[in-house]
Amino acid sequence: MLDAVVGYTARRFRYAMVMPNLMPPVVSTDGAAEYRDRILAAAPADSLDFRPVMAIYCSPLVDPVDLKAGIDDGVIGAMKYYPAGATTNSAAGGTSLADFAALFEILIETDTRLLVHAESTDPNIDIFDREAAFLEDQLAPLCAAMPDLLVTVEHVSTRAGVDFVAEHENTAATITPHHLARERSDLLASGMKPDLYCKPVINSADDRDALIAAATSGNPAFMLGTDSAPHPTTAKYGPSAKAGVFNAAYGLEVVADVFDKRDALSNLAAFVSSNGCAIYGVEPPDNEITLTAETVDVAVAESLSTANGDEVVLFGTEEATRWTVGA
C-alpha cells in the first residue's frame, strides 16, 4: 500500500505530517526513523523535494528521555494524541489528556506541537456532537493548565472546532478537503456512502460553512491537513466500514474548487502551504505548482490498485474534471 500511495503526496507536497497509528504504533525515535526511511524509499524519483515529518504516538509506552532525544535529533516533529477507540488503530491511545502532562512538558520545552484527534468516545454522546464534547471536556482544561503548549486540533469538523481555535491562543487547526467539500447529507441522504465515512464524521452543512469560512479567510491559524487514509475497498465495503478518505490524489483540486466558489483563490496558497510552514517552523518550498480551472479532456482515474490487487477509491474525481495541475 505504501508503494502505491506515497507518490500522490510526494509529487505535490514538500511536507507530510506522518501519523503514527500503525500496528504496532510508532512510540520511539527508532520506530519513527525506520518508518520515515520506508516512506522515502517508496517515494518516486520525481518527488518535489519530499520531506516527511514524523509524529510519535502519545502513549504510556513513550520514554520521555527518548522523546526529548528524538526531537533534538530532528527525527520527531510532533506528538499525536488519540482518544482510545476513537478511530483507526487508536487502541493504544489515552482516556484523558491529563495523564500525559509529563510528556507535554517536554513538548513545551522543545516548542514541539501536540496534535489532537478531538473526538469524545463516550457512547452516550451523539456522534455529531463528539468533537464539541471533547474540546470542552478535555482540550479546554489542558490549554488552561498548560497555556504554553502548542496544539493543533486535527481535521476539525464543526463550527465548535473553528470557534475553539479562535478563542485559544497557541492553537491551530487542520481542515481536510472532504470536510470542506461535503456535508452529512452527502454521506447519508441517498444511502450510506462508505467512501465518505471518516472520523470525525462529516458533519452538517452549517459546520461545513464554518470550515469554509475559516479556511478561506486568510487566518494563519488554519491550514490544509488532508488526513488522507488509503483503506482498500475490502475494508470499506462491508458490515463495518473502516474510517478514512483517500484524497491525496485530488485534494488540491477539491480545495481549489471550494476556494474558487467563494472568490477566495488569493488565499489558497496560504491555506495549503505557507500557513503550515509558519505554524511548524519549517522552510517554505521552492517549487511551485499551478492549478488551472479548465475541463479535463481525458478520463479521470477513480481508483488505484496495489501490487497485491487491493483497490482504493480516490476522492474528488468530480472536482478533478474541472481543474488541471501542472508545474
- Between CA 304 and CA 313 the distance in angstroms is 7
The sign of the dihedral angle between the CA atoms of 84, 69, 171, 174 is negative
Packing angle, helices 29-42 and 64-72, rounded to 10: 40
Buried b (16+ CB within 10 A) or exposed e, 282-313: eeebeeeeebeeeeeeeebeeebeeeeebebb
**Residue 253 in grid coordinates:** 483540486
User: Are residues 177 and 254 in contact, defined by beta-carbon separation less than 8 angstroms?
Assistant: yes
Q: Comparing C-alpha atoms, which of 144, 145, 143, 195 is closest to residue 171?
A: 143
Q: Examine the residue annotation and report whether 227 is marked as an active-site residue of this protein.
A: yes
CA 236 to the chain's CA centroid: 19
DSSP letter, residue 300: P
Q: Which residues pair with 312 in a beta bridge?
A: 304
Q: Three-state SS for 315?
A: coil
The half-sphere exposure of 204 on its side-chain side, counting CA atoms within 13 A, is 10
Per the residue annotation, which of 148, 227, 286, 310 is the catalytic one?
A: 227
Active-site residue set: 227
